[in-house]
Structure 1
C-alpha cells in the first residue's frame, strides 16, 4: 500500500536516516491514512477536530489563520515532503489552530500522534529515530513561528518587505532569487494589503534598492535594504 511512496517519503525530515526497508516496515506498523484533495479544497479547518500530523507527499498546500480583524493571514506555503500539524499534535488541544488548503491537487499522509510516541508493538528499529526527528522538527517549527511573529510585529510595510527579502537572500546565497509566494500570498503572509505591498515594492525599485519581475527579485543595494528593517 505504501511501497510506491517510499522514494518520496525517504526525503521527509521525519524519516531522516531511516533505511527504506525499515521505513516500509514502520509504515505498515503505523498505518497512516492517505488522503487525496483537489485544488482549493480544505484539508483542515481551524477549530475542527485535530486529525493527525500531515505530510504532503504530492502537490502544495497553504497554512492560513484569521487575524483579529477576520482577515486571512498565510502562515506558510508547504511543498512536497513538508509537514503540518506537528506543533499541535503533542499539546493538550484537540482542535486545529489553523486552516490548511490545497493550492494544487495534492496527496497527504496523516499520522496519529499516539502512534509516533507510543510503544511500537513490533519493536521497529527506526522508531527511536522517528521520535528524535520529530523533536527536531517541532523545535524548528517553533523557530519559524518566532520569525513569523517578528514579521507581524514590524510596523511599516517596507520593514516587512525588507526583512522577508533579506531572509530569502540569506537562504539562496545570492542577490537574485524567486520567492516561493505569489504577490497576493506574500501580502497575506506579511499581513498587508496587496495594493499597499505593490506600491511599496515599486517605490523601493524606483529608489534603486531592488528590482523585480513578478515573483523574481534582485537586491541592488543590500546595505540600503538592511537599513530599512
Structure 2
C-alpha cells in the first residue's frame, strides 16, 4: 500500500506517511482494484465500510421512483465515498458507485474507522470537516435536482460557475455530453435549450464558453 498517496487524501491530511503505516499495521485495512464498469457500492446497500479512492474516479448514480438512472456526480481520487452515511440508524448508500476507469481504493471496515477516530484527533477533525463539506454539496445537489425545467438547471449551473470563476463569462468544466448527463436530460434537449436562451439574449455561447448577458433574469428563473 502506498502510504505517500494515502497521506494526500482529505481524511489523512497532515499525517506523515510513516505514521500512517504504523497506524494501518494494527488495523484490518485492505486495498482493492476495480475495473472500468465495476461497481464499488450499490444503492441502498448497507454502509459497513469506508471506501477511499486513491486512484481513478467513479460515477455516482441514483435510481428515481420511475426507475430512471440519474447521474449525481463524478468522484475523483483522492476522496472518500458516502462518508456522511457511515454512521446512523439508516446508513445505506444513497447512490450506486461505478468505476469510470481503473480504480484503486482503500477499504476500511466501520469498526476500524471508529478506532481511527478515537485514536487520532487530527483524523477525527478531518472526518468531521469532510462530512460537513459533503453535506453542503448534497444540499446544493438536491436543490438543483428539484428544478423541473432544463432552463432552470442551466441557469443555476451558470450562476454557480459564475460565482466560482468570478466572471460572467463561464468556461464550461464539463463537455456538453457530461453536462446533459449531469442534468438528467438528452444532449439534443440541452443543445436546443442553450440555443433558445441564446436567441432570447439571455446568454452568448461560443463552444465551451458561455457569457451571461442577463444575470438578473437567470436568477429569477431559479427563484421561482
Q: Do these two structures clear the TM 0.5 threshold for a shared fold by scoring above it? A: yes
C-alpha separation in 2, matches of 1:146 and 1:27: 33
The alignment's C-alpha RMSD in Å is 2.4
Alignment of 1:219 with 2:208, yes or no, is: no
Contact 1:74–1:185, Cα closer than 8 Å, also in 2 = no
Q: Which residue of 2 aligns with 1:144?
A: 137
**Structure 2 CA distance for partners of 1:198 and 1:134, relative to 1, 3 Å:** same
**Structure 2 CA distance for partners of 1:77 and 1:26, relative to 1, 3 Å:** same
Give the one of 58, 74, 81 matched to 1:77: 74
Gap runs ≥5 in structure 2: none
- The count of residues paired between Structure 1 and Structure 2 equals 219
What is the correspondence of 1:144-183 to structure 2 with a 5 Å cutoff? 144-174=137-167, 175-180=169-174, 182-183=175-176
List, as ranges, runs of 4+ consecutive aligned residues in structure 1 with deviation greater than 6 Å. none
C-alpha separation in 2, matches of 1:91 and 1:168: 33
TM-score, normalising length: structure 2: 0.85
**Structure 2 CA distance for partners of 1:136 and 1:207, relative to 1, 3 Å:** same
TM-score, normalising length: structure 1: 0.83
Gap runs ≥5 in structure 1: none
C-alpha separation in 1, matches of 2:160 and 2:122: 30
Contact 1:117–1:131, Cα closer than 8 Å, also in 2 = no
C-alpha separation in 2, matches of 1:225 and 1:28: 54
**Following TM superposition, by how much is the alpha carbon of 1:161 offset from its aligned partner in structure 2, in angstroms?**
0.9
What is the correspondence of 1:1-229 to structure 2 with a 5 Å cutoff? 2=1, 4-6=2-4, 8-93=5-90, 95-118=92-115, 127-174=120-167, 175-180=169-174, 182-208=175-201, 209-213=203-207, 216-221=208-213, 223=215, 224-229=217-222
CA offsets 1:131-154 (integer angstroms, 9 cap, x no match): 111111111111111111111112
Contact 1:168–1:179, Cα closer than 8 Å, also in 2 = no
C-alpha separation in 2, matches of 1:119 and 1:11: 17
Contact 1:41–1:102, Cα closer than 8 Å, also in 2 = yes
